Structure 1
Amino acid sequence: MNPDKVLVSMEKIVSLAKRRGFIFPGSEIYGGLAGTWDYGPLGVLMKDNIKRAWWENIVGMRDEVFGVDAAILMNAKVWEASGHVTHFSDPMVDCKKCKLRYRADEILTGSPCAGRWRIHRQRCICVPKQPRASSQILKM
């Protein structure tokens, strides 16, 4: 088989994985949650095998690398110190025509609306809406 002629789209791979029970769109029976996946019986096994192989290759075979497993819910000061709050954000634009908000990179690839855009605003998904004296943050 000629490898140059074998072109498989991501849609076909996802479709096959769904049909075989590897993955399912997250919260699918309740309307779904974009960008999330639930794993079926085979998907759980495959994901675990990939994680184990990655861990062995990156951590297990190198003397200078050590594994750490930390909580994803952390004090806000951790995310500030690591630079996540100031450096990890998505530039946002608002369409004046349809009143929807898009990430700036989405309109570059063609948005469903051909409206006029309002100036970029920054959105960081790792800070709480209303900070408290002791707030934890879930990095998404």
Structure 2
Amino acid sequence: MPEKVFRVAQAGFEMSAKLSRENQDVLLEITGGDVPHYGVVTIVSPHQTTRTIALPSRPGHHHQEGVLTERIAKIIAPVLQNNAFIIGGLHVNRITPQQMAATANMAQQLGEQIRDYLSSHPRTKIIEEFS
């Protein structure tokens, strides 16, 4: 099945979410700004506590996009049929306080779009067989 892309724009930049699925699992790539990248991974599962791993961004610092991926995780968790991986990386060069504040609202909007899409497009579970 093709990927689904969601976009929001505010404060002079865009944030997007690319959704891919395998069986009932979900992969989301949250990127945007001037330098899209992959810096954090948030793991969401109905079987364990949500966790985020932040990779190094530069000496002495780690990526901070976990605040965005975790916001999205909370919104979509109730409608997930199985596991989700949310990978995030958004960098706005010389970000302003207004742009920084806008990111939370943008993540909220993306999360709601994704939640609504997943709710209206459930997947039939493919049964795994083991030896």
**TM exceeds 0.5?**
no
Indicate the structure with greater helix content: 1
TM-score, normalised by the number of residues in structure 1: 0.19
Q: Which has the higher contact order (CA 8 A, sep 6+)?
A: 2
Task: Point out the structure with max Rg over C-alpha.
Answer: 1
Q: TM-score of the superposition, structure 2-length normalised? A: 0.20
Decide which structure has greater strand share: 2
